[in-house]
Amino acid sequence: MEENRTRIEVVVRVRPILPEESRQGLINSRIQPETDKKSLVVKFPESKQQKRFKFDDVFDESSTQEELFARLKLNSLVKKVVEGFNATVFTYGPTGSGKTFTMEGYEYDKGLKPIIKENENIGLVPRTVKALFDEIKQSESQVEYTVNCTYIQIYNENIYDLLNPAQLTPNSPGLKMRWNKSDEFYVENLCIFPCFTYQEALSHFNSGLRNKIMASHNINSTSSRSHSIFSLNLEALDKEEGRIVSSRLQLVDLAGSEKTAMTGNEGLALKESIEINKALFTLRQVITTLAENNEAFVPYRNSKLTSLLKQSIGGNSYCLMIACISPIDTFFEDNHSTLNYAIQAGSISNIPVQNIDPKTKIIRELKKEIKRLKKELDQANSQLDFLSEIASLDRKTQKSRLQEMEKLPLKSVHIKRIRDLRKSLELSTSFEPTPVPHTAASQSRGKTEDFPLSQEVLSEKLYDSVKMIRELMAINKKLKEQNSELLSSKKNIEAEFIEIQSENQELKEKTEMLETILRDQVEQANGIKEVENLQKEKKELEWKIAQLEKENKNHSSMQVRKSEWDWKSKRTVLRDHSAKPPKVFTFDRNEGTPINSNGRSSLTPREKQFRTSFNFHKRNTSNGLSFDSQVKQEALSALSNILGYKQL
């Protein structure tokens, strides 16, 4: 089978100068589009030279979205998708060059959310989706189509599902990318939504746009911070032929390359710029490698973006690249680089392949084989009838009829057999019996036996033909049985496929429910863990308080003992004083204080202090407290004041 090679189509679109750029005095003096020649002239003022870049088409600043869609012939591309071929449309260029406007066509509010409304500026994605459903409506009635859509973004080299808000959490690790036997990369656990109308598909696209990550910097007030891929997966079932073909249309909006010095990005925005530039650098490596026909190693796996676009660039898809450039001189270097890579991409060849279901392909081949065998069977039946008729005729008539039979459209094997039969008949008719001597008769015995041999050969050839026809009929019957078995198997597989799809949908719903439950449980677990930590801290604090109370108690007992020892020392001193010669004095009746003959107290200052303590002791004793207890009480009060506690 010949390889149907086709080049990647490349067009260039130059956006108009923005009002803000005009107010700043920015101009275009280096890029001159030549739409009639499908080329673009770049001027180099330093060397006073210019260079012409030729593409499949060039769109200047005045081009509209409608004109762009019409001249790109996306209706023809959509028709290829309906026929079972894969196709990709992607935009490429520096930041602020109009890529997102070309694909979406929406304006963004101050919160960087799209303002969804249909007008003359709607982009290529809505127009292409509408063209796809229009083409499906115009297709043959016996073909049944199924359309599903997915929408992903690649942000900081992680893949996120824009149609699954539950997966778009700040700490989400993203979806995993896998590789299958068809030499394709795919995203695992991606939500797939059926689309029965253009409005449903567009609704899913707009819903995903609201979840897309956007930001603002010095160059672009609405800058995409991720690469986004909106995919429409199509499956067509021919009810009459039982043929199934599948295809995929990818509409890709790449983030623009950025220079940190110009954007002024810092922190998270700087990290985003680095990841964007890494992915675009890998894409440029892939384009350069394929353009140089160096297919020994193409670095698709170095980036998730190039991995997912593997079949689009140098693979089995039709591909259209829209290189977007900014006209102002500030971006001259970026524009020049974009044009160079666009030229290289235009030299890459893809080999589009119709995606026919393997079992459907086998059924088609078997049907062709059955048709061919039926034709041979009809020819063999006509030959059998002819041979039966010849067998009943005389030799002369047989010869003429065999000559007629040679003119029939039979296979070379059959013609050879007919010629053998005719030759045998000629040999048999050329024999004429004449009287000859015995010796001559014995020598010509072989000739007289030619006629019986020719009849025998004729019968043998006829028998072989009948045998061959019977074998063909048996083979035909066997093929019919195999065909019916395959059709039955196909129906069973279709039923299983529908059942698996429903199970897959149920599993997705259960997965979402489990994810919600898991998040709730994680939050509860975090709360329980926090309570446990608080309880642990409480126990530690209680233990510390107990230790402090124990230490306080020890200190209190030590102070009490010290007070007791002090009191005992005082009593010892009193005893020493009492050992002196007794003095004559009287006691006050109320206070018990001794007085001399002049009526004054006869106590020394130390004895007065002792008497005061004694009276205090006496009063407290009358209140029910012993003197030792009172001393302890005073010690505890003093300790409590020191430690900051109040004695209860």
Q: What is the pTM of this model?
A: 0.58
Of 558 and 548, which is predicted with more confidence? 548
* Nearest CA among 387, 414, 408, 406 for reference residue 398: 387
Residue with tokens 């029939």: 408
Go through 23-49 and write b for each residue having 16 or more CB atoms within 10 A of its CB, e for each that does not.
eeebebebbbbeeeeebbebeeeeeee
Rounded Cα–Cα distance for residues 558 and 630 (Å): 15
Q: Does 563 count as an annotated binding residue?
A: no
What residues does CATH 3.40.850.10 cover in the chain?
6-356
- Does the annotation flag 6 for ligand binding? no
According to the model, what pLDDT value does residue 214 have? 67
82-96, 200-214, 221-235, 495-509: which range is least confident on average?
495-509
Pair 156, 271: CB distance under 8 Å:
yes
- The answer to whether residue 431 scores a pLDDT higher than 50 is no
Residue 396 marked ligand-binding? no
Is residue 599 part of an annotated ligand binding site?
Answer: no
CA distance 367 to 361: 10
6-356: what CATH class?
Answer: alpha beta
> Which residues, in sequence order, are bridge partners of residue 44?
49
pLDDT digits over 521-542, tens only? 777 777 787 778 888 888 888 8
Is position 98 annotated in a ligand binding site? yes
Question: Is 592 labelled as part of a ligand binding site?
Answer: no
Question: Among 37-41, 173-177, 537-541, whose mean pLDDT is lowest?
Answer: 537-541
Q: Residue 540: what pLDDT?
A: 85
What is the model's pLDDT at position 607? 55
Backbone angles phi, psi at 153, to 5 degrees: -130, 145
Are the CB atoms for 231 and 154 separated by under 8 Å? Answer: no
| Per-residue confidence band for 591, with pLDDT thresholds at 50, 70 and 90 | very low
Q: Is 94 annotated as a binding residue?
A: yes
Contact yes or no for 41/51 (Cβ under 8 A):
yes
What does the pLDDT average to over 512-517? Answer: 78
- pLDDT (tens digit per residue) in 554-585: 777 776 666 666 655 555 544 544 444 544 44
For residue 454, say whether it is annotated as part of any ligand binding site. Answer: no
- What integer pLDDT is reported at residue 1 of this predicted model? 41
